[in-house]
Copies of this chain bind each other. A is one copy, B any other.
Amino acid sequence: MHPIDLILRKRDGLELSTADINAFVQAVTALSLDPKAATLTEAQLGAFLMAVFQRGLSLRETADLTTAMRFSGEVFDTKPLNTFSVDKHSTGGVGDKTSLLIAPTLAAAGLENTPSISVPMISGRSLGHTGGTLDKLETIPGFDTQLTLPQMMEVLRDCHAVLVGQTPRLVPADRILYAMRDHTGTVESPFLICASIMSKKLAEDLNGLVLDVKVGSGAFMPTYEKSKFLAELMVATGERSGTRTAALLTTMDEPLGRFSGNWVEVWECVDILQNKPISPEHQRMSADLITLSNTLSGWMLYLAGKSATPEAGALLAAELIRSGGAYKSWLQIVAAHHGDTSVFANPALFHKPAAKRVLTASRNGYLSSMDCKEVGWAVQRLGAGRAVPGGPVSAHVGIESHAKLGDRLTAGQPIFTLFTEDPALLDEPYAMLQATVTLTDTPPTPQLLIREIVTAATLP
**A→B interface (CB under 8 Å):** 4, 7-8, 11, 41-51, 53-55, 180, 183-186
Min CB distance, A173 to chain B, in Å?
A: 16
| B11 and A50 contact, CB distance less than 8 A | yes
With beta carbons under 8 angstroms apart, the residue of B11, B42, B184 that contacts A7 is B184
| B41 and A50 contact, CB distance less than 8 A | no
**Majority DSSP secondary structure for residues of A touching B:** helix
| B180 and A11 contact, CB distance less than 8 A | no
Assuming A185-B4, A185-B8, A185-B11, is B46 touching A42 (CB within 8 A)? yes
| A184 and B47 contact, CB distance less than 8 A | yes
Residue among A4, A45, A50 with most chain B CB within 10 A: A50
What residues on B are CB-neighbors of A53 within 8 Å?
11
Distance in angstroms between the alpha carbons of A4 and B180 in the assembled complex: 12
Min CB distance, A57 to chain B, in Å?
A: 15
What residues on B are CB-neighbors of A50 within 8 Å?
7, 11, 46-48, 50-51, 54
Known A-B contacts: A11-B53, A45-B46. Give 14 more (CB < 8 A).
Answer: A4-B183, A4-B184, A7-B184, A8-B185, A11-B185, A41-B46, A42-B46, A43-B45, A43-B46, A44-B183, A44-B185, A46-B46, A46-B184, A47-B186
Chain B residue nearest to A52 in the complex (CB): B50
What residues on B are CB-neighbors of A183 within 8 Å?
4, 41, 43-44
Distance in angstroms between the alpha carbons of A46 and B3 in the assembled complex: 13
What residues on B are CB-neighbors of A186 within 8 Å?
11, 47
A-B contact pairs, 21 of them (CB 8 A): A4-B183, A7-B50, A8-B185, A11-B50, A11-B53, A11-B54, A11-B185, A11-B186, A42-B43, A43-B43, A43-B45, A43-B46, A44-B46, A45-B46, A46-B47, A46-B184, A47-B50, A47-B184, A47-B186, A51-B54, A54-B54
Distance in angstroms between the alpha carbons of A50 and B185 in the assembled complex: 12
Distance in angstroms between the alpha carbons of A44 and B51 in the assembled complex: 13
Distance in angstroms between the alpha carbons of A50 and B55 in the assembled complex: 11
What residues on B are CB-neighbors of A55 within 8 Å?
54
Min CB distance, A241 to chain B, in Å?
A: 29
Chain B residue nearest to A10 in the complex (CB): B185
Chain B residue nearest to A50 in the complex (CB): B50
Chain B residue nearest to A53 in the complex (CB): B11
Min CB distance, A6 to chain B, in Å?
A: 9
Min CB distance, A407 to chain B, in Å?
A: 38
What residues on B are CB-neighbors of A41 within 8 Å?
42, 46, 183
Residue among A7, A42, A183, A184 with most chain B CB within 10 A: A184
What residues on B are CB-neighbors of A46 within 8 Å?
41-48, 50, 184
What residues on B are CB-neighbors of A42 within 8 Å?
41-43, 46
Min CB distance, A453 to chain B, in Å?
A: 31
What residues on B are CB-neighbors of A8 within 8 Å?
185
Distance in angstroms between the alpha carbons of A47 and B183 in the assembled complex: 10
What residues on B are CB-neighbors of A43 within 8 Å?
42-43, 45-46, 180, 183-184
Min CB distance, A186 to chain B, in Å?
A: 6
Min CB distance, A413 to chain B, in Å?
A: 41
